[in-house]
Each structure stands twice: as C-alpha cells, then as structure tokens.
Amino acid sequence: MYSFSEIYERYQDQIGTVEFPQSPENLYGSITYFLDYPGKRIRPVLCLMGNELFSEIHPDSYIVANAMELFHNFTLVHDDIMDRSAIRRGRPTLHVKYGEQTAILAGDLLLIQAYIQLNKIEPKYKGRIFGLFSEMACQICEGQQMDIDFEDRSIESVSYAEYLKMITLKTSVLLGAAAKIGAIIGSANAEQQEDVYAFGKNIGIAFQIQDDFLDAFGDTFKMGKQAGSDILENKKTALLIKAFELADSSQKMQLKEAMCKVGEDRIHTVIGLYKELKVDLWAGRAIHYYTEIAFNSLDRIEIPIYKKEKLTELANSLLVRQS
Amino acid sequence: MYSFSEIYERYQDQIGTVEFPQSPENLYGSITYFLDYPGKRIRPVLCLMGNELFSEIHPDSYIVANAMELFHNFTLVHDDIMDRSAIRRGRPTLHVKYGEQTAILAGDLLLIQAYIQLNKIEPKYKGRIFGLFSEMACQICEGQQMDIDFEDRSIESVSYAEYLKMITLKTSVLLGAAAKIGAIIGSANAEQQEDVYAFGKNIGIAFQIQDDFLDAFGDTFKMGKQAGSDILENKKTALLIKAFELADSSQKMQLKEAMCKVGEDRIHTVIGLYKELKVDLWAGRAIHYYTEIAFNSLDRIEIPIYKKEKLTELANSLLVRQS
C-alpha cells in the first residue's frame, strides 16, 4: 500500500503524460498557467486509493485520475469567473490574467480534455465510468447553480437541508465519484463501490462544514487565511444558516443587525451570537456525524484493515485542521 | 431517401427524447429556453444524411444528431457571452435573460449532455466516435480563441490564410464531423468517411465566406438583416482581410480612412473600395472554389447518384442565397 505522498508522487509522474498543443498560444498557455500551480490533488489520489483497496493500481486509474484533476480544474476556472474571484492558489485567477473570453474557453477545453482521457480506458467498464462521470459533472453544475441562486435569496429563506444538498452536489459527489471509479477499476463489487462512494462523499460534506467552521473559529495562523472572511462577506455558510434556524425572533434581529456592522466589529458580534446559539458546538457535531458515516462506510468493506489505513490517514489529514 | 424536410421532421420527433430535470429551475429553465427556439438543425440533419448515403438510418445516428445539436448550442451559449451578443434567433441571448453565471453553467451542461448522448451508442464504434467528437470540440475552441485573438490585432496583421484556418476550426469542422460520424455509423469505409468529412467541411468554408460576402453585397430584404453590419463593426471578414492583401499602400490608406467614417458613409466607401479591388469577384471565386472541392469529394464516393441528391440539395440551399 502506498501512502498519500507516495501515491501523490506516482501521480505526479503520470500527469506529465497529458500534453497540450502549442497553438493558439493564449488558450493553451492559459491552461498550462493554471495547471502549473496544482492543488492538493485529493481527487486523483482518492481515485488511485479507491482502486488500491481492491487490487494493484491499474494503469486506467492513472488515466481517470488525470480526468478527475482536469475536470476539477475546469470547475475552478469557470467558478472563478462566476464568483469574480481574483486569486487562486496565491496567483491571479485565469480570467484575471488571460481575460474572461479565454477563461471560458480554457474551462471548456479542460472539460473536453477530461473526456479525452476517459476515452483511453478499457472498453469493459468505459460506458459505465463515462456514465458515472457525466452524472457527477451534471450534479456539480447543479450545485454551483444552487450556490448562485442562494446569493439572491434572503438568509432566512435558505434552509440547512438546502445548504447540505448544495455542498453535496457542488463539492462532495466529485470525491465520491473519484473513489468509486477507482474501486470499479479495482474490480470492487456493487456494494463495495457504493461504500467507497459514501466514504468519499461524506468526507467531502464533513470537510465543507469544517471549512465554514474554521473560517469563524479556526486559528488564523494555521489556516493561512484571514479568519472571519465569510462573515465579512455575509456568506451563507452552514453556520450562518444554522444560526438563523436556531435563533428566536430577537436573536434573528441581532444577527441581522450584526451583519450590517463593519470589519472586526461584525466578526466579533456574529461570532458572539454563534456562541450564544451554540452553533460552534452544533458544527462540531455535524462534522463528527458525517465523518462517522464516512468511516462506517469504510468499515463495512470486508477487506483487511491495513488496506484501509491510507484512506483513513487521508481523511484524518483533511479533517483535523482545527486541532 | 429522405429530403431535408423529411429528415428534419424525423429528427424533430426524436429530439423530444432528450429530457432534462426540473431543478435547479434557473439552470434547466435556461437550457429549455434556448433549445425551444432551434436553429436550422443543419448539423443533426447532416449526420443523418451522412449515414443514409451508405445504409438505412441507424438509431445511433439520431443519438449522435442530438449530441451534435446539443454541442452546437453549447458553443452558441458560450460564444454569445464572449461576443457580448444580445440577440440570438430573434430573442434575448441566454446570458442576457438568465445572467452570465447561469449561461456559463448552461453551456457546460449542454456540453456534458452531448457526451451523455454519445455514451448511448453501440460500443463497436463508440471509442472512435468519442475520439472524433472530442477532437472536433477542441478545434472549435481553438477557432473561437483565434477569432478572439483577431480582435486585438491590426487588420493588416491578419492574413487570409489565418482567417481560413480560423473559420475552418470555428465552424466548418463541426459540419465535417457531423457528416463523417453519420457515415461511420452507416458503415462507410475509411476513404468514404474522409470524402464525407471533406464535403461537410468545405461546404462550411464556402458558406462562411458567402456569409461575409452577403453582408456587404447581399439583398437586405432576402437576408433578413441589415447589410453592411460587418463593415459598421470593422469586423475582420474574408473581404476586409483580402482587401488589405490586394491593396497597394494608397488603397490601404483609403481603406483605413473609410473604416473611420460613420454609418452609411462608411458602408458605401468600403464597398466602393471592395469593388475597386475586385474583392466581390474574388469572394465569388473563393465560394465557388470551396463548393467545388465539396462536390468533388461527394462525386468521388462510389454510390448511386440518387443517394447523393439530398446532400446536394442541402448544400445548394445553403449556398444560393445570393441569387
């Protein structure tokens, strides 16, 4: 069994095999610019680990891992345009550096390139994996649309159930699908495939709620970003949505007033209300709840425990940032 | 053999089989809005005709026809954003009606849905058709990037050869690929597939040059749009690019001065210079040249002539608008 860093290294060696033409220079240059500063490669590594639970890593898993990474980058490029984000991985976003027109095309091309990768795998499971991949791709677009729709709605009109659906579609199904497709290539049976999917998806949900939690309650130094940035944007996070669900009418009024304050004052007042409403404790329980579902799914898979250790490590590395 | 309108009707009956979910309403509503006002369906019909040259229409050709139409609409939705177009098919463009964020996602979803369709065809040629489709998809993105890049360049720096490459990639390969994939499904041999591709591609090039020609020299009433709109935008058409290639230094100066004039004055002066440089005659020859290549390709295919009649009719209906 390989560790995360070993699998990461092996994957890094492989990704060089995805080659792009030189021309048009702006288009392919922008893609190279974006891919040259990679993220944590969690999705491709999950795919490889999903395979390795059941058999030695098959070359097709590296291909799917590439497809997953290209697809993930497609979503980032287009999301950055939609969200008007200026910085990604410490550098100007693709649309800021190359213009929005090229960014739309670069995203489109990354999506097409993901499908080009998928077309290289063995025919025996190609149709099935294509189907799963496309279903996941639709869900991610749906999740992003829900997120966009949330922006135009009042905070009180968005329920925690809707929030959960949104983050599940927007971010978690990709982790589930990456791990599941790896498992399919590794010849897992149907039940095992579902358990692997549930593991990835629920780790994703826990991670997303944790992300919201850390923005308010995390250690600024450890996170590497300013605490309270979500609060400063009045972003509809799990915490804010849950706070409104838990608040009585007087507390709702206080929350709304707090959301109109400026800078540190807003952060302190909102966090104070979160604590009063015990939203911090609630978030801890929610993170624990989805983590448990994930690990229970992994436990159900009847394979030697040592084979699961790397996935457990990966999950823990994603979920212990608050400690 | 079916006529264009018969094939169109048969295709129309089939496209209802592509169903979208209801939610998120904005996202799928925007797609339905866009698809409800269809274009001329040239690409799906070409695919079905490409099949019918060689055998009875196979159900897979309807599926690919749907994929082609969904893909074409994906390019239109994203191109409209990039080109800041406000009107398409007589109605507000998708991004004008639903906002740019939803338009980016709607385009992405149409592309994914095209792949979902393709995944339904028989395995025996699925990999091959997937490959061709994705190659074409990349080329179209490249062509659109070239078009975008042209905007920032001086008119004298863009050669007719580059223009040809741009329109070939941006619009013509889709016609070639639609017809070729139909031919593959119809069990055409490799040589026949290439001839069908060349037919579609070169009809596409001829049509595009004709489009530029008609904007300057066409009958406003017949075209249904204002003549000279390209000239008013100083758009880098085949005519303007060729005019600069044919002009001596004094005529180049006159062209540049004409491009600074306003309204009808600009149109009349530029058209006057086009005539002086015989760009109108040149364009007629260019259209004829690519039409000939297309028909020669069709002629080379050794099948009974009556089987080719509908493709000939389709090509003529696209290319005789100036008469």
Q: In whole angstroms, how large is the CA radius of gyration of chain B? A: 20
Contact assignment for B101 to A148 by CB distance below 8 Å: yes
> What average pLDDT does this structure show over B275-299?
97
> What average pLDDT does this structure show over A296-309?
95
Contact partners, residue B37, CB within 8 Å, separation at least 6: B89, B90, B91
pLDDT at B33 over 50: yes
Q: Where are the alpha helices (DSSP H) in chain A?
A: 4-15, 25-35, 42-52, 59-83, 94-98, 100-118, 123-151, 160-167, 173-185, 190-217, 220-223, 229-232, 238-246, 249-258, 263-276, 279-300, 309-319
Contact partners, residue A135, CB within 8 Å, separation at least 6: none
What is the pLDDT, as a whole number, of residue B294?
Answer: 97
pLDDT at A200 over 80: yes
The residue among B254, B151, B258 whose CA lies nearest residue A24 is B151
Chain A CB within 8 Å of residue B32 CB:
no
pLDDT in tens, B223-281: 556 679 999 999 999 999 999 999 999 999 999 999 999 999 999 999 999 999 999 99
The residue among B71, B122, B142, B129 whose CA lies nearest residue A119 is B129
Search chain A and give the residue with CA nearest B137: A112
Name the band, by pLDDT with cuts 50, 70 and 90, for residue A221.
low
What CATH number belongs to A4-319? 1.10.600.10
pLDDT at B323 over 70: no
Q: Which long-range contacts (CB under 8 A, 24 or more apart) does B155-159 make?
A: B155/B234, B155/B236, B155/B240, B155/B241, B155/B244, B155/B259, B156/B244, B156/B252, B158/B236, B158/B241, B159/B241, B159/B245
CA distance A105 to chain B (A): 6
pLDDT in tens, A33-59: 999 888 889 999 999 999 999 999 999
Chain B CB within 8 Å of residue A170 CB:
no
On whether the CB atoms of residues A209 and A281 are closer than 8 A, the answer is no
- How far is A245 from B22, CA to CA, in rounded Å? 27
CA distance A144 to chain B (A): 8
Name the band, by pLDDT with cuts 50, 70 and 90, for residue A71.
very high
A105 contact residues in B (CB cutoff 8 A):
78, 82, 141, 144-145, 148
ipTM value? 0.94
Token pair of A76 as six digits: 């980032």
Name the band, by pLDDT with cuts 50, 70 and 90, for residue B1.
low
pLDDT at A220 over 80: no
pLDDT in tens, B149-190: 999 999 999 999 999 999 999 999 999 999 999 999 999 999
Place of tokens 């390969």: B173
- How far is A300 from A245, CA to CA, in rounded Å? 34
- How far is A22 from A218, CA to CA, in rounded Å? 44
pLDDT in tens, B37-46: 888 899 999 9
Return residues 98-127 of B near A (CB < 8 Å).
100-102, 104-105, 107-109, 111-113, 115-116, 119, 123, 126-127
- How far is B323 from B315, CA to CA, in rounded Å? 14
The residue among A72, A80, A81, A144 whose CA lies nearest residue A111 is A72
> What average pLDDT does this structure show over B190-197?
98
Mean pLDDT is lowest, of A198-207, A215-224, B85-94, for: A215-224
The DSSP code for A169 is I
Name the band, by pLDDT with cuts 50, 70 and 90, for residue B134.
very high
pLDDT at A14 over 80: no
What is the pLDDT, as a whole number, of residue A227?
Answer: 79
Chain B CB within 8 Å of residue A173 CB:
no
What number of C-beta contacts closer than 8 Å exist between A and B? 111
What is the pLDDT, as a whole number, of residue B224?
Answer: 57
> What average pLDDT does this structure show over A126-134?
98
Chain A CB within 8 Å of residue B24 CB:
yes
Token pair of B130 as six digits: 């997937």
**Alpha-carbon separation of residue A216 from A19, A265, B192 (angstroms):** 41, 13, 65
What is the pLDDT, as a whole number, of residue A225?
Answer: 61
pLDDT at B147 over 90: yes
Search chain A and give the residue with CA nearest B136: A112
Token pair of A219 as six digits: 């250690």
> What average pLDDT does this structure show over B133-157?
97
Mean pLDDT is lowest, of A232-246, B8-22, B166-180, for: B8-22
A91: enclosing H helix or E strand: strand A91-92
A88: enclosing H helix or E strand: strand A87-88
The residue among B72, B137, B78 whose CA lies nearest residue B105 is B78
SS3 state of residue B233: coil
Chain A CB within 8 Å of residue B251 CB:
no
pLDDT at B93 over 70: yes
Contact partners, residue B250, CB within 8 Å, separation at least 6: none
pLDDT at A322 over 70: no
- How far is A44 from A66, CA to CA, in rounded Å? 7
> What average pLDDT does this structure show over A169-196?
98
- Considering only residues A322 and B236, tell me which one the structure prediction assigns the higher pLDDT: B236
pLDDT at A262 over 80: yes
What is the pLDDT, as a whole number, of residue B208?
Answer: 96
Mutual orientation of helices B190-217 and B173-185 as an angle, nearest 10°? 150
What is the pLDDT, as a whole number, of residue B11?
Answer: 81
pLDDT in tens, A277-294: 999 999 999 999 999 999
Structure-derived torsion over alpha carbons of residues B157, B159, B163, B169, reported in degrees to the nearest 10: -90
What is the pLDDT, as a whole number, of residue A11?
Answer: 81
pLDDT at A195 over 80: yes
- How far is B275 from B282, CA to CA, in rounded Å? 10
Search chain A and give the residue with CA nearest B106: A141
What is the pLDDT, as a whole number, of residue B15?
Answer: 66
Instruction: Give the closest of B81, B137, B142 to A24, CB-based.
Output: B142
On whether the CB atoms of residues B90 and B37 are closer than 8 A, the answer is yes
Token pair of A22 as six digits: 């030189």
**Cα within 13 Å of Cα(A152), Cβ side:** 9
- For residue A62, the tally of other CB atoms under 10 A from its CB is 23
> What average pLDDT does this structure show over A307-319?
92
Tell me the backbone φ, ψ of residue B224, rounded to 5 degrees.
75, 15
- For residue B15, the tally of other CB atoms under 10 A from its CB is 16
Per the prediction, chain A carries an average pLDDT of: 93
On whether the CB atoms of residues A294 and A199 are closer than 8 A, the answer is yes
Instruction: Give the closest of B26, B131, B134 to A149, CB-based.
Output: B26
pLDDT at A118 over 60: yes
pLDDT in tens, B59-85: 999 999 999 999 999 999 999 999 999
What is the pLDDT, as a whole number, of residue B225?
Answer: 62
B139 contact residues in A (CB cutoff 8 A):
none
- How far is B99 from B106, CA to CA, in rounded Å? 11
> What average pLDDT does this structure show over B110-118?
97
pLDDT at B194 over 70: yes
What is the pLDDT, as a whole number, of residue B322?
Answer: 44
pLDDT in tens, B54-63: 999 999 999 9
pLDDT at B19 over 70: yes
Residue A92 Ramachandran class (φ > 0 left, ψ -120 to 50 alpha, else beta): beta
**Alpha-carbon separation of residue B64 from B14, B126, B274, B302 (angstroms):** 11, 10, 42, 25
Residue-by-residue DSSP string for B84-119: T--EETTEE-HHHHH-HHHHHHHHHHHHHHHHHHHT
A141 contact residues in B (CB cutoff 8 A):
27, 105, 108-109, 112
Beta-strand relationship, A91-92 and B87-88: unpaired
Instruction: Give the closest of A26, A126, A137 to B112, CB-based.
Output: A137
pLDDT at B220 over 80: no
